[in-house]
């Protein structure tokens, strides 16, 4: 596998190491499935189709106006688009392959617990080729928050910090490592409107949390809801894990906090949330994302209220 540059984006030539199945319904024989770095802890999955014209949104993931001095060299962990991670979100990974355990060791010992969670998508071209090239997008700098050692591998809890662009690839084997730079929202002059929307989002998430904690949950679910957990992290005042250039401002951090699944999500609800997360990662408009977050949190509040009503009838 070698690195090529196309449309100012990081393109990875095809390799058996990171191959994808052909799109469903294409009639083509299936390639070896994408080698996920972790096993799902649940049998429930979200299936989404190919996202369309990938190349139109690549510029924000391949360049930055920031100085090169803000760049970091970090291990890179690839996922499919349905596994996109947004800033403030937490996720549990089961890492069990030797190469990913080596990535984990480097992150802990040499990178202050940091690595990059990113999405690899196939780039569809008209030219015949021996394989499909992939594009590296939706990069999110993550911090390792906790590790539980298992008989096979480890359960790793990670937290998304900020969006990053992968500007250069430094290593392929035994795992990917590259140079990354932070992606920030565009500057805003409408401070009063931003503050108003931040207050509305906080209030909406508080309403959602007050209902969610009343829902019956499985023993595997956290008592603290994911949206509340993301909100608490976003409102922290001190972040000393990396350069300040990688820490979004408060409004930008909060704008991602509502984009979390709620207890008992259906597949269709998770699918809708997935589309919002992809749009949020593409956007550099804090105000727009705050409005989306308010909308999502209010919809989740209404759904949770309905579930509580059904739950009360079943008692």
Cβ count within 10 A of residue 130? 6
Gap between the Cα atoms of 84 and 86, Å rounded: 7
What is the rounded distance in angstroms from the CA atom of residue 144 to the CA atom of residue 289?
26
**In Å, how far are 55, 137, 257, 276, 297 from 261, measured between CA atoms?**
28, 22, 11, 11, 10
In tens digits, the chain (315 residues) has pLDDT values of 333 333 334 555 444 344 332 222 333 333 333 344 433 333 222 222 333 444 444 444 444 444 556 899 999 999 988 899 999 999 999 999 999 999 999 999 999 999 999 998 877 766 555 566 778 889 999 999 999 999 999 999 999 999 999 998 898 899 999 999 999 998 777 888 999 999 999 999 999 988 888 877 665 555 457 888 999 999 988 788 888 889 999 999 999 999 998 877 788 888 899 999 999 999 999 999 999 999 999 998 998 888 888 888 875
- Please answer whether residues 101 and 156 qualify as being in contact, where contact means their C-beta atoms are separated by less than 8 angstroms: no
pLDDT of residue 11: 53
Beta strands in the chain (DSSP E): 3-6, 9-12, 72-79, 90-95, 114-122, 134-149, 154-171, 176-182
Q: Is 106 helix (H, G, I), strand (E, B) or coil?
A: helix
- At residue 220, the pLDDT reads 55
At residue 102, the pLDDT reads 94
List Cβ neighbours of 202 (8 Å cut-off, separation of 6 or more): 231, 254
User: Could you give phi then psi for residue 126, rounded to 5 degrees?
Assistant: -85, -20
Q: Which residue has the tokens 């391949």?
A: 62
Q: How far is CA 208 from CA 19, 168, 226, 303, in A?
A: 40, 41, 11, 10
What percent of the residues of the chain are helix, what percent strand, and what percent coil, each to the nearest 5?
35, 25, 40
Rounded to 5 degrees, φ, ψ at 187 are -65, 150
């Amino acid at each position: 596998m070698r690195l090529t540059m196309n449309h100012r984006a990081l393109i990875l030539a095809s390799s058996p190491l990171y191959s994808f199945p052909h799109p469903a319904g294409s009639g083509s024989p299936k390639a070896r499935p994408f080698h996920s770095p972790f096993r799902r802890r649940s049998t429930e999955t979200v299936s989404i189709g190919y996202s369309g014209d990938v190349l139109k949104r690549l510029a924000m993931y391949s360049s930055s106006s920031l100085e090169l001095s803000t760049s970091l060299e970090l291990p890179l962990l690839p996922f499919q688009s349905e596994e996109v991670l947004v800033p403030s979100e937490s996720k549990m990974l089961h890492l069990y392959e030797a190469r990913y355990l080596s990535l984990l060791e480097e992150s802990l010992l040499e990178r202050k617990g940091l690595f990059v969670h990113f999405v690899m998508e196939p780039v569809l071209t008209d030219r015949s080729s021996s394989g499909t090239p992939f594009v590296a997008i939706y990069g999110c700098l993550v911090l390792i928050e906790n590790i539980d050692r298992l008989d096979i591998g480890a359960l790793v809890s990670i937290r998304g910090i900020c969006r990053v662009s992968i500007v250069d690839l430094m290593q392929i084997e035994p795992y990917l490592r590259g140079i990354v730079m932070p992606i920030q929202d565009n500057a805003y002059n409408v401070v009063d409107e931003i503050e108003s929307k931040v207050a509305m989002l906080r209030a909406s998430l508080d309403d959602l949390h007050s209902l969610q904690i009343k829902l019956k949950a499985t023993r595997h679910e956290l008592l603290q809801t994911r949206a509340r957990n993301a909100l608490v992290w976003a409102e922290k005042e001190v972040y000393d894990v990396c350069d300040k250039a990688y820490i979004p401002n408060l409004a930008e951090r909060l704008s991602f906090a509502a984009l979390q699944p709620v207890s008992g999500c259906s597949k269709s609800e998770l699918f809708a949330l997935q589309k919002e997360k992809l749009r949020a990662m593409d956007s550099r408009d804090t105000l727009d994302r705050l409005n989306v977050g308010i909308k999502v949190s209010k919809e989740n509040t209404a759904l949770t209220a309905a579930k509580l009503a059904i739950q009360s009838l079943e008692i």
